[in-house]
Copies of this chain bind each other. A is one copy, B any other.
Amino acid sequence: MKISELSRRTGVPVASIKYFLRQELLPAGRATAATLAEYGDEHVQRLRLIKALTALGGLSIAATRNVLAAIDQADSSEGALGAVSYALPVPVAAQSAAGDEEEAEADATAGAEVAELLAALDWQAPGTSPHVQGLTSALKELRRLDARYAPGELAAYARLAESVARLDLERAAGVDDPVALAERAVIVFAICAPVFELLRRLAQEDQVRRRAAGDGAEAASPR
């Protein structure tokens, strides 16, 4: 198909397709003349994924390139999920440790809180994991805001997160081809995160509305 047909089938404007081609997010088509190329179904599929990652997942072009590389390099179904998990951008970046003593103490306190949580949950993650480092930074900032989690609160959230992750892994299962599995994992991990956040915001909205209406029993009932 021509680029105009590719645009029609994906809803991505021709100018954006050309941008993705220049950025090498999308492989070039088969050249049929000096300025014409033919595209195939694999371009439709890849373009839909790029659109979803950037528009829904909120990924930058650089982050999208990382994720696509992890998909294309997937060579075993065991390795695919881990590679995708580390290729995705981290919600809170680890902060570079400042030299100052107070800062080092705050880092150590937050680090101990994370280590304790992981041990209590029996979660395996190395200290070098970007997720461990991001969580440490986030907890440090929350302490600074005087908004730390009460004892047990973070673990309660973590147990819910574990259930969500289990649903995620189930959705990403049942695909044998490593590249197809990696693509599925990207969709589940990256694009379904904003969906879950929307569900949470909707649930908050419902509960705030009930509370304002004096339906306190509902909002305060144990989970």
Give me the interface of A with B, judged by CB distance under 8 Å: 11, 48-49, 51-52, 55-56, 58, 78-79, 81-82, 85, 88, 90-92, 98, 103, 118, 123-125, 129, 131-132, 134-135, 137-139, 141-142, 144-145, 147, 150, 153-154, 156-158, 160-169, 171, 184, 187-189, 191-212, 219, 223
Contacts and interface: CB of A to CB of B under 8 A. Distances in A.
A166 B204 CA distance: 7
> Interface SS of chain A: helix, strand, loop or mixed?
helix
B194 A200 contact: no
B85 A165 contact: no
A167 B141 contact: no
Contact of A223 (B49, B52, B82, B166): B166
Contact of A147 (B125, B165, B187, B208): B187
Contacts of A193: 197, 200
B90 A201 contact: yes
A78 B48 contact: no
